[in-house]
């Protein structure tokens, strides 16, 4: 039976434990997203086609609806010196890109003045802050560890709300039986299950943790987008097993175009109808761990077929300097999504 989350908003009180599950009836995710799409369509008179012409909204292409973003990660690949988020906002404005996707680890601090300064800097530059990409891990046999990860996720939901960001990137977590990320990538993201537990238990831990985060996501109006990352969500089947456990518009899929390493298009198509946010990988100058030659016209058509109308946020992961690679990647994405 799917978990159901109430549509009525409430805050978490001081005497209430963080992330208490709720099971009241709610509008389903697909109903919610479908209603939003219909509302948007009813207010739009016409849209620009990929060739510069005009066409009625009833025949609008996906390219006309999709907006581009830039992940701050595109300018900072976990090097010792962080690349300022304010400068990424400036670059987005210069490139006429609508949104910036903030990597949580890249934030200089979490003080109120810093959060509000980022929000103001984006506003005066005409750029939306569209997602907060966080790191957390629900795959651990220790309930105390999972509780801490739930609290961290709720904290990040609150940070996003303070900055006016409507979504966070969520991970399932992984077994961590391969400690080095370099070794994990050499193993194509596949690692053994922890001794003494089962894969089913891992899914149960993850689903329970997300259930405890959902009420706060709903009350804050911040959607959680579960990424096809490593661990339990390395495959479409694993990702959808978690997402399909819920009947809530506040949980959907974050489609990362570069994280299905084999046969990517069939796998991207499998998760497309659940997708509420897209991170688009490019590998200018070659990737650090691997390079995928992705056909973005084909990906744009996959998203078009399911009526995706959200953001496509660039994650440039190549070795070429971001100053040249990001503009090239944005131009490529514009051309690809403008061709369908």
Residue 34 confidence (pLDDT): 43
| Assigned domain for 18 exists | no
Residue 50 confidence (pLDDT): 32
Would the pLDDT of 170 be above 90? yes
Whole-prediction pTM: 0.82
Would the pLDDT of 227 be above 90? yes
| Assigned domain for 56 exists | no
* Calpha distance 22→3 (Å, rounded): 8
Question: For position 162, which CATH number holds?
Answer: 3.20.20.150
> Is residue 112 within a helix (H) or strand (E), and if so which, with residue range?
helix 112-124
| Assigned domain for 123 exists | yes
| Assigned domain for 330 exists | yes
Which residue range(s) make up the domain with 273? 62-338
Residue 27 confidence (pLDDT): 44
Q: Structural domain tally of the chain?
A: 1
Residue 259 confidence (pLDDT): 95
Residue 187 confidence (pLDDT): 87
Mean pLDDT of the chain: 86
Tell me what percent of the residues of the chain surpass a pLDDT of 70: 81
Kindly list the distances between the CA atom of residue 180 and the CA atoms of 80, 176, 184, in Å, as whole numbers in the listed order.
Answer: 18, 9, 6
103 pLDDT band (50/70/90 cuts)? very high
Please report where in the chains the tokens 């959607």 appear, as a residue: 223
| Assigned domain for 316 exists | yes
Residue 14 confidence (pLDDT): 33
Tell me what percent of the residues of the chain surpass a pLDDT of 90: 75
Q: Across residues 97-102, what is the average pLDDT?
A: 98
Q: Across residues 44-60, what is the average pLDDT?
A: 33
Half-sphere exposure of 124 (CA within 13 A, CB side): 6
Residue 182 confidence (pLDDT): 87
| Assigned domain for 15 exists | no
């Amino acid at each position: 039976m799917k978990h159901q989350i109430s549509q009525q908003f409430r805050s978490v009180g001081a005497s209430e434990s963080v992330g208490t599950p709720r099971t009241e009836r709610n509008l389903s995710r697909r109903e919610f997203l479908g209603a939003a799409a219909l509302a948007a369509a009813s207010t739009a008179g016409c849209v620009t086609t990929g060739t510069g012409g005009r066409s009625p909204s009833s025949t609008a292409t996906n390219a006309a609806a999709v907006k581009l973003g830039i992940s701050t990660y595109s300018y900072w690949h976990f090097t010792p010196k962080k690349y300022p988020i304010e400068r990424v906002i400036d670059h987005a404005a210069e490139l006429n890109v609508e949104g910036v996707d903030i990597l949580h680890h890249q934030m200089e601090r979490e003080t109120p003045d810093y959060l509000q300064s980022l929000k103001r800097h984006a506003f005066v530059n005409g750029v939306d802050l569209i997602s907060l990409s966080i790191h957390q891990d629900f795959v651990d046999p220790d309930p105390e560890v999972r509780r801490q990860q739930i609290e961290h996720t709720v904290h990040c939901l609150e940070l996003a709300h303070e900055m006016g960001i409507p979504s966070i990137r969520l991970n399932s977590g992984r077994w961590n039986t391969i400690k080095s990320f370099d070794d994990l990538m050499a193993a194509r993201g596949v690692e053994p299950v922890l001794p003494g537990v089962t894969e089913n238990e891992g899914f149960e831990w993850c689903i329970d943790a997300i259930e405890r985060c959902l009420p706060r996501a709903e009350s804050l109006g911040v959607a959680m987008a579960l990424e096809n990352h490593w661990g339990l969500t390395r495959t479409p089947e694993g990702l959808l097993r978690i997402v399909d456990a819920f009947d809530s518009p506040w949980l959907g899929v974050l489609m990362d175009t570069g994280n299905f390493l084999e046969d990517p298009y069939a796998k991207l198509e499998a998760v497309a109808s659940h997708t509420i946010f897209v991170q688009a990988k490019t590998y200018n100058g070659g990737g650090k761990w691997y390079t995928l030659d992705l056909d973005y016209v084909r990906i744009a058509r996959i998203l078009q077929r399911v009526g995706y109308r959200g953001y496509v946020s660039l994650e440039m992961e190549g070795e070429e300097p971001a100053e040249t690679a990001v503009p090239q990647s944005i131009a490529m994405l514009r051309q690809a999504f403008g061709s369908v």
